[in-house]
Every structure is written in structure tokens, then in C-alpha cells.
Amino acid sequence: MSIAICPGSFDPITLGHLNIIRRTSRIFDSVVVCVMHNAAKSSPWFTPEERLEMVKTATSRYPNVRVDMQNMLLAEYAKQFDHPVIVKGLRAASDFEYEFQMNLINKNINPDLETMFLTADGKYTFLSSSVVREMAHYGADITGLVPSELIQLIENKAKQWRK
């Protein structure tokens, strides 16, 4: 059975992330979306538990997708699965440089671990969690950027941050 891991901080999950997850779910038998605590990103808007719940809500219609949360190195986390493939989205050259470096680090820790990249859908090449946070912060409309069922929750969080 082929298994893919789609990792990310998902702070919050966007339609760009969801596009990659959906396309991955068509290629692999099973997909684990892994919400990383991500110590490198200093002040996340949402707690890991909130991010996990948002990803679960957004992916609930995909039967072969499950969601997990992790606070360890991805290459270590992946060791529990049988020949998993990490799948990531590539938006721009800047993503490529970072991902190339991460791939080399992962290979050092776990030489069997492969990473595959899907190019971002043209509609979402500009889209990132930070764009969504920025727009929500200034009260701009985030329709079409995040799953519709999460809009209210994200707007409420933006209000809390503004206080």
C-alpha cells in the first residue's frame, strides 16, 4: 500500500494546501497530513490542536486522508511507516531552494525517505498561510483562500489578535 505524508504548519490551512492534499490522495492509497508544531516559526496564530482540528474539518470528505500532529523531526516521524513518500507543494523558486535543502537533511537522517513535489495550481501560487493571516488581520475578505467552513473561525482569531 502506497503512503504519502503531507507535512506543514497549516497556520491556517489554505486552499493551496488542500489542493496538494487532494491531488496527493488521488495518487497514493493513503495520505497522512502531519501538522508540525514547527518551533522554527516563532508566533503561530493557532495552537497545534486548533490547526489539527482545522485540517481534520477541511479534509473530512477525503476517505483515504487522515490527520496527525507531530513535534519531532519529519525524517524521524516517517520511520514508523513502510516506505512513505513526503509530498510537498512547490510555489516558486524560493520554495525549491528551501525544499532542496530540507530534502538533503531528511536523507541524511533517513536515507530511504523520498520526497516528491507537486507544482502549485496556478490559482494558488501566491497563496500562503501568512498571506491569509495578513489579510484577516486587516479585515480583508478571505473567501476563496481558505476552506469556507473555516472562514468564521479564522476571522474570530484575527479579532482576538487585534485586541
Instruction: Report the residue from 12, 48, 89, 147 that binds ligand ADP according to the rule CB under 6 A.
Output: 89
Backbone dihedral angles phi then psi of residue 3, each to the nearest 5 degrees: -135, 135
**Sheet architecture: strand order including 114-119:** 65-70, 30-36, 3-8, 85-90, 114-119
Answer yes or no whether residue 30 interacts with ligand ADP by CB under 6 A: no
Minimum distance, C-beta of residue 17 to ligand ADP, in the bound complex (Å): 5
124 counts as binding ligand ADP under rule CB under 6 A: yes
Task: Pick the closer one to ligand ADP by CB: 10 or 77.
Answer: 10
Determine if the peptide bond prior to 84 is cis (ω within 30°). Answer: no
Q: Among 91, 107, 128, 137, which one carries the catalytic annotation? A: 91
3-state secondary structure of 6: strand
Q: How many residues bind ligand ADP (CB under 6 A)?
A: 17
How far apart are the C-alpha atoms of 124 and 120, rounded to whole Å?
Answer: 6
Q: Does the protein bind ligand ADP through residue 8 (CB under 6 A)? A: yes
Chosen residue from 127, 136, 145, 154 binding ligand ADP by CB under 6 A: 127
